[in-house]
Chains A and B, each alone.
Chain A
């Protein structure tokens, strides 16, 4: 390793030699960096999971434009929209289809544990609004009290979900009604519910008697092929007289929901702070290690200064140490982080896991912040005065 580094750097790898000289301290330093990495990985994993869980329900539908109430920051939040605006939107020449989307929370009490389904009420006669994979068996929803269940819902036994067929529906009580699960689709547990459920708008209104068919939570619009979404949104904003409504592209609606979850909701803010704390812990650990190392070697550094080595040489040593700590601390950090995320994902059914993006981000962050710690630690080198050696 020393030879390899010597070839790469064109000089003796003094930083590497210094760090590995005291192996116990080196191991402790690597453990510290790895610990900071794990902290960041877990928090990033939770943040990514929040993002995946937020965007997941948007994947169930296919739409170009979504109209929501002014306070509808998320898909399952806020007031409703008068259906009349759907009819008004259809007056636009590029809008070919519109559908009201109802959203509500349906708890299924299973005697001891309860599964909370984020439930979407849709018009089963408009399959174009439902994504492939979810739309299978959509026609079955035309039967009153029929539902399609999320087979990955938290708390729903796998074997029970696997047995759901139109011929062998799973019947269960919820909201004082007997529902029949006729099919399943792939969703997954999120932060706001244990899973998802799809029903017809009629069944939805039976489950929520206080809701009205004239006021869905959102209005989804599909445009003719080739139509410009942004231009249509602008026209619709002029066309629809209720200026409080949020009229935006379906894509923007999803991204705004995500931004809201990450920056306004406590969970998102907490995860964000978690990442920050992890980064700060890593920064402090690397700084402490490097700073102590510089202090331990002040006399040797002063000797090198006397011999004619300049500031860049010393910066190079400390940066070399920072990179060694960053690189070698990252390896156990990424492995332990991946293990913890996989375990948490298995326990919570949240979409948790190590992604290549995360690994690359944390790796680059580790190297950059380690280098930053190194640059800060070099300030202590000013104390190495070669004149004091005599």
Chain B
């Protein structure tokens, strides 16, 4: 693993189910994500994109092969270590998954307070900056119910970025957005890569954003069948 690589996947295999129903979903995946890179993961439904995202994001246990994340081997890692590593990641979901009873600002604060010992004032200031970054500084005290779909997704982006994560894992973050909003979100992630070195792994079917990717990986039936872009593996 080089100093600049955030994620290194080697010989990754993964199965779902048990006994006769056991089915292999990932086949011998090799992948490296460099610091600050913007990688798009494409492929038809059921090709294994989401499974790969959840394995790299410490949301599933690695069964076979190696996944090194931020220098930590995930194969055989305990629940506490996985939880701790997740605190250094940013997640953006297709559905914004904002907490309905928290304001935009409070939702973003949750992205900071996951790390123990952060003072309230610091968390609030960071949340304000993050919301400003996504152009929602005038919606800080709004509940999700009073925000548009695009605004909610931008709050979710702010929540993912507020903790200055090393890696952002995004699943169809632009699916519910119009063209301009989608472009804004992707540009923001790209900008974070350039200025803060944030690495992004983004699953999408959205052809509108492909031209902004450093690298495009195509998965089919659990295998990477096509690699396009600057980096090798």
From B29-37, B108-116, B132-140, give the one contacting chain A. B108-116
Interface residue B45 (Cβ < 8 Å from any Cβ of A): no
Which A residues are CB-close (under 8 A) to B85? 308
B interface secondary structure, majority = mixed
Measured CB to CB, the nearest residue on chain B to A297 is: B99
Q: Which of A297, A302, A303, A308 contacts B84 (CB 8 A)?
A: A308
Q: Which of B93, B114, B120 contacts A389 (CB 8 A)?
A: B93
Are A307 and B59 interface neighbours, CB within 8 A? no
Min Cβ gap A11→B in Å is: 5
Q: Which of B91, B93, B98, B102 contacts A12 (CB 8 A)?
A: B102
Measured CB to CB, the nearest residue on chain A to B156 is: A303
Taken residue by residue from 173 to 217, chain B's Cβ proximity to chain A (1 for < 8 Å, 0 otherwise) reads as 000000000000000000000000000000100000000000000
Count A interface residues, CB 8 Å. Answer: 25
Are B59 and A300 interface neighbours, CB within 8 A? no
Are B91 and A17 interface neighbours, CB within 8 A? no
Are A300 and B97 interface neighbours, CB within 8 A? yes
Q: Which of B60, B94, B95, B114 contacts A308 (CB 8 A)?
A: B114
Min Cβ gap B156→A in Å is: 9
Given the contacts A12-B106, A308-B114, A390 and B101 also touching, CB distance less than 8 Å = no
Which B residues are CB-close (under 8 A) to A303? 91, 93, 97, 99
Measured CB to CB, the nearest residue on chain B to A301 is: B99
Interface residue B25 (Cβ < 8 Å from any Cβ of A): no
Interface residue A158 (Cβ < 8 Å from any Cβ of B): no
Q: Which of A6, A299, A300, A387 contacts B120 (CB 8 A)?
A: A6
Given the contacts A17-B102, A300-B99, A386-B59, A306 and B50 also touching, CB distance less than 8 Å = no
Min Cβ gap B186→A in Å is: 19
Interface residue B54 (Cβ < 8 Å from any Cβ of A): yes
Within 8 A of B (CB), among A1-50: 6-7, 10-12, 14, 17-18, 20-21
Min Cβ gap A331→B in Å is: 22
Given the contacts A17-B106, A300-B97, A390 and B53 also touching, CB distance less than 8 Å = yes
CA distance A300 to B102 in the complex (A): 11
Are A389 and B101 interface neighbours, CB within 8 A? no
CA distance A299 to B93 in the complex (A): 11
Are B93 and A390 interface neighbours, CB within 8 A? yes
Are A306 and B59 interface neighbours, CB within 8 A? yes
Most buried by B among A14, A18, A387: A387
Which A residues are CB-close (under 8 A) to B120? 6-7, 10
Measured CB to CB, the nearest residue on chain A to B49 is: A390
Which B residues are CB-close (under 8 A) to A308? 83-89, 114
Which residues of chain B have a CB within 8 Å of any CB of chain A? 50, 53-54, 57, 59-60, 80, 83-89, 91, 93-95, 97-102, 106, 109-111, 113-114, 120, 159, 171, 203
A-B pairs with beta carbons under 8 Å apart, 23 shown: A6-B120, A7-B120, A14-B102, A17-B101, A17-B102, A21-B100, A297-B99, A299-B95, A300-B100, A303-B93, A304-B110, A306-B59, A307-B91, A307-B110, A308-B84, A308-B87, A308-B114, A387-B54, A387-B59, A389-B91, A389-B93, A390-B54, A390-B171
The 6 tightest CB contacts between A and B, nearest first, are: A308-B87, A21-B101, A308-B86, A303-B97, A387-B59, A390-B50
